[in-house]
Structure 1
Amino acid sequence: MFSYRHGFHAGNHADVLKHTVLIAVVKHLTAKPTALAVIDTHAGAGLYRLDDDFAHTSGEADEGIRKLLALAEPTPLVQDYLDLVRSFNREGKAVRVYPGSPFVTQALLRQQARDKLHLFELHPTDSKSLESHVEQLEAGRQVHVQRADGFEGLKALLPPPSRRGLVLIDPSYELKNDYGKVAACLQDSLRRFSTGTYMVWYPVIPRPEAHELPRRLKTLANQAGKSWLHATLAIGQSEEKPVPGEPAKRPGLTASGVFIVNPPHTLKAGLQLSLPQLVDVLGRGRGKGHVLESGGR
């Protein structure tokens, strides 16, 4: 159950998509003066080193964040993403530290508005790392960490006192029943807090549950009478030929998606500009592309 470690995948194309969207959503929500509560159901370790053994083993950041860093004219959403990642590294130096969703979010929250960040992580090693990393923030009561199941812990936090909130749901999907849990979590959460913004990340893989999930999420949003936005990013299959005498590289994840319920009204236009750029820079062969669709109220 606890074999998945995000350190192998930090800064990859899926993180690029997820964090580009997350930054745009949080920036929009914090533009209003009322306090915002953000709940991250599967927070991970919070911070990652791109020069440690995990990242070196996979090399996925080389095909993700590091490719984008050389962009001459990023779109506004991509620029915001790159600026935030660079802010965790020394100016003018190579990017070696990569912020996970908790630190991406916290960097944008406001002390004066009394924004809150609730983080759940069940993995024993990652939860310890998360607590240690959060302590370094010295953010006081703004950030609360629990070693608990985020699917269950979320229920007690909805609705937040301010009635303004964002919920990020992105389990590892290591277990097949995670897909059903995500759909059930969204359905229950919309009953408790129908005006909240919900962002679900998921992998696009050849598994029936993965293909069915966005359809289930659309149905739930439509039944609740809520607007929704769905975006996917596929980098395609590598066209590199295998090196004789060396083991063939495993293809790994080639596509992922994000589904947002009650999205900011500005997000679709921003992604219409940014997704083609991400495909141009990160795409590597057959199957590359993107999808952007919206619906609901």
Structure 2
Amino acid sequence: MNYQHAFHAGNHADVLKHVVLLAICDALTAKPAACFALDTHAGAGLYRLQDARARRTAEADDGISLLLASAPRQPLVARYLDAVKACRALHGADAYPGSPWLLAHALREQDRIACCETESAVAGALRHAMGGDARVAVHATDGYAAMKALLPPRHGGQRLNRGLVLIDPPYEAQIAEFDTAFYAMRDALARWPQGIQMLWYPVKQRRTLTPFMRQAAKLQTKATLVVELLVRADDSPLRMNGSGLLILDPPWQLATALAPALEALRGALGETGADTRLHWIREPA
């Protein structure tokens, strides 16, 4: 795979994904039972925003750096910024946490995390970033295959009935990636219907997403939520104008909590034409 997330770490898409990821983790940990998180396309787990790759694109300047400078006081956004600061306290002022680091930061001693990364060098960097955390298993394997192999999750001979699957592919296959993700999510619903699933996707031109959203509406969930942050108008195929998250069976009241957080992110990161979307494609009963 040619995609390297180090070029894009801390951009507006990471900001959205990680704000929502932490909100879901906090909902899971509000109950005492152990939970499980599977990160299917985990990356290196920890990034340096001053290294040559990050500076070549400078995408973090319009993402996490801009958000830290404005520091919105909205609680979910502040929660995320506190996590970034905690990462920097441990790893240095230019550190940025990937989703595996944030999962380990947000989840508890009794919880378990599995992270998948196909590139052997990146998987090695991920193991180093996790620092030998016994809760975290790093698998140098395809994340979609891991959804079949690891779901439903078990620990200590017991099935874990609560948790999250984060699917964050690089979209090197472009529109074809949506089909792969759809079938993986449909299969995971049958294997682990109690789990939450969250798929990240880029937004360039909205019309290209319509067929997938029609497919997603057919998934047999209790509820399906779409969350999007557009930092500019979604009318150019040449750059990522925003990103979104398709969330299957989200925690209760997540949508209500996210509405002001999205507005805070739009205000902090948005350019002309910026917008947000928060709607159900399958409404909860």
TM-score, scaled to structure 1: 0.87
Equivalent in the alignment of 2:268: 281
* Cα deviation, residue 21, structure 1: 0.2
Where does residue 147 of structure 1 map in the other structure? 140
> How far apart are 1:128 and its partner, in Å?
2.0
| Structure 2: distance between partners of 1:80 and 1:41 | 24
Which of 151, 154, 158 is residue 151 of structure 2 equivalent to? Answer: 158
Q: CA deviation at 1:132?
A: 2.1
Is the contact made by 2:228 and 2:278 (CA closer than 8 Å) also made in structure 1?
yes
Deviations 1:97-144 (A, max 9, x none): 000000011101111xx210001011233222112222x2x312x110
Question: Conserved in 2, the CA contact under 8 Å of 1:235 and 1:254?
Answer: yes
Which residue pairs with 2:25 in the alignment? 26
In the alignment, is the contact (CA less than 8 A) between 1:118 and 1:143 conserved in 2? yes
Instruction: Name which of 118, 132, 135 aligns with 1:122.
Output: 118
Cα distance in 1 between the residues matched to 2:186 and 2:64: 33
Which residue matches 1:241?
none
Q: For the Cα contact (< 8 Å) 1:76–1:270, is it kept in 2?
A: no
| Equivalent residues of 1:203, 1:210 under 8 A apart | no
Post-superposition Cα deviations, 1:146-192, rounded to whole Å, max 9, x if no partner, equal 11011011112212212112100110011133211100011000111
Q: Assess if the C-alpha contact under 8 Å between 1:131 and 1:145 holds in 2.
A: yes
**1:51-200 alignment, distance < 5 Å:** 51-90=50-89, 95-111=93-109, 114-134=110-130, 136=131, 138-140=132-134, 142-160=135-153, 161-176=159-174, 177-200=176-199
Q: Give the unaligned 5+ runs of structure 2.
A: 154-158
Query: What SS does structure 2 have at the residue aligned with 1:42?
Result: coil
Identity across aligned pairs (percent)? 40
- Residues 209 and 127 (structure 1 numbering): CA distance in 2 closer, same or farther, change over 3 Å? farther
Aligned counterpart, 1:244:
none
Partner of 2:15: 16
Larger Rg over CA atoms:
1
> Which consecutive unaligned segments of at least 5 residues does structure 1 have?
238-249
User: Aligned letter for 1:35?
Assistant: A
- TM-score normalised by the chain length of structure 2: 0.91
Structure 1 residues 72 and 193 mapped into 2: Cα distance closer, same or farther (>3 Å)?
closer
Cα 1:103–1:109 shift into 2, 3 Å: same
Deviation at 1:73, TM superposition (A): 4.0
Displacement of 1:208 in angstroms is: 6.4
Equivalents in 2 of 1:64, 1:73: separation in Å? 13
* Aligned-residue RMSD, C-alpha: 2.1
Distance 2:277 2:57 in 1: 26
Q: Is the 8 A contact 2:118 2:141 kept in 1?
A: yes
1:108/1:205 CA distance change after superposition, 3 Å: same
Q: 1:88: how far off?
A: 0.9
Distance 2:264 2:129 in 1: 32
| Worse-superposed segment, 196-205 or 69-78 | 69-78
**How far apart in 1 are the matches of 2:120 and 2:57?**
22
Quick one: distance in 1 between partners of 2:189 and 2:215?
A: 14
Comparing 63-72 with 25-34, which one deviates more in the overlay?
Answer: 63-72
Letter in 2 for 1:162: L
Say which SS state the counterpart of residue 230 (structure 1) adopts. Answer: strand
Q: Displacement, 1:209?
A: 5.4
Q: Deviation at 1:94?
A: 8.2
Q: Which of these residues, 248, 270, 280, is aligned with residue 261 of structure 1?
A: 248
- Residue in structure 1 matched with residue 36 of structure 2 by the alignment: 37
SS of the residue 2:70 aligns to: coil
